[in-house]
Amino acid sequence: MRHARRESSRRCARAALAAGLIALGVALAAAPAAAQLAKLPPADDAAADRSWAKFKTGLLAALEKRDKRALIAALDRNVRNGARVKPGIDEFRRQWDLDAQDSALWQVLTKILFLGGRNVKAANGAKEFCAPYVATDWPEQFDPFEHGAIIAREALVKARPSAASATIATLSYDIVEIGEWDIEDETKGSTQTWVHVDTRAGEGYVPAEQIRSPVEHRACFAGGGGRWRITALSAGDDKTK
């Protein structure tokens, strides 16, 4: 009699376990797409190149000082400005409005240089180094207009667009679905901006500087003979190779 009861209990336990596993499978299948996304780890093929490091340091210094003469000296005479834009330095100057005090170039190129990149082959067969890696390594299965890549380790995902709000998750080099870019901070007077993202922990907000879109600007450089120059600067979805 006791044996029969034990056997019955075992059968009930096995049935409950099976039901739990089925429910878990259903729950996982119904999870939002963001829960299944990939990692996009940092990459830098030029990290060990001393000539690149020297050029990069000098270019960053010129950008910080907004030194137009030094910047123009770093440009290839046939610099590519976009697939549907005329190449060359004159067009580069016009496109970026270099004579204006608030030209976006200084910030755009600085942000690119702080991220690594990849060695690629240009349309003419020449070897180039293109950055950031977010654009060069972006997986084709993710719509670049609807997703972004976390470019920091353990970025805090906040419940609200405010540093004072609760942290709901941390992300490290994850590809996430984007809800909205450029959201203002809820704290009055704060200049921090946020990006609304969808994560496996739910929807939240990450600081704008810790996430990047693959369609933001990218730059390419060539360093034949150790003399580096900027050979292209365009939007990330505009393949100017």
Residue 15 has pLDDT above 60, yes or no: no
Q: Are residues 85 and 177 in the same domain?
A: no
Q: What is the rounded CA–CA span in Å between residue 151 and residue 112?
A: 12
Q: What is the CATH number of the domain that holds 95?
A: 3.10.450
Q: Are residues 58 and 87 in the same domain?
A: yes
Q: Are residues 99 and 191 in the same domain?
A: no
Q: Are residues 133 and 206 in the same domain?
A: no
Band of pLDDT at residue 236, cut at 50, 70 and 90: low
Q: Are residues 71 and 167 in the same domain?
A: no
What the block records as the tokens of 33 is: 């797409």
Q: Are residues 118 and 62 in the same domain?
A: yes
pTM: 0.79
Q: What is the rounded CA–CA span in Å between residue 91 and residue 81?
A: 7
Range of the domain at 73: 50-139+214-235
**Per-residue pLDDT, 201:** 84
Q: What is the rounded CA–CA span in Å between residue 46 and residue 44?
A: 5
- Whether the Cβ atoms of residue 157 and residue 168 lie closer than 8 Å to each other: yes
- Domains in the chain: how many in total? 2
- Whether the Cβ atoms of residue 210 and residue 151 lie closer than 8 Å to each other: yes
Residue 146 has pLDDT above 90, yes or no: yes
Q: Are residues 185 and 171 in the same domain?
A: yes
Q: Which residues fall within 8 angstroms of residue 146, CB to CB, at 6 or more apart? A: 177, 178
**Better-scored residue on pLDDT, 45 or 30:** 45
Band of pLDDT at residue 11, cut at 50, 70 and 90: low
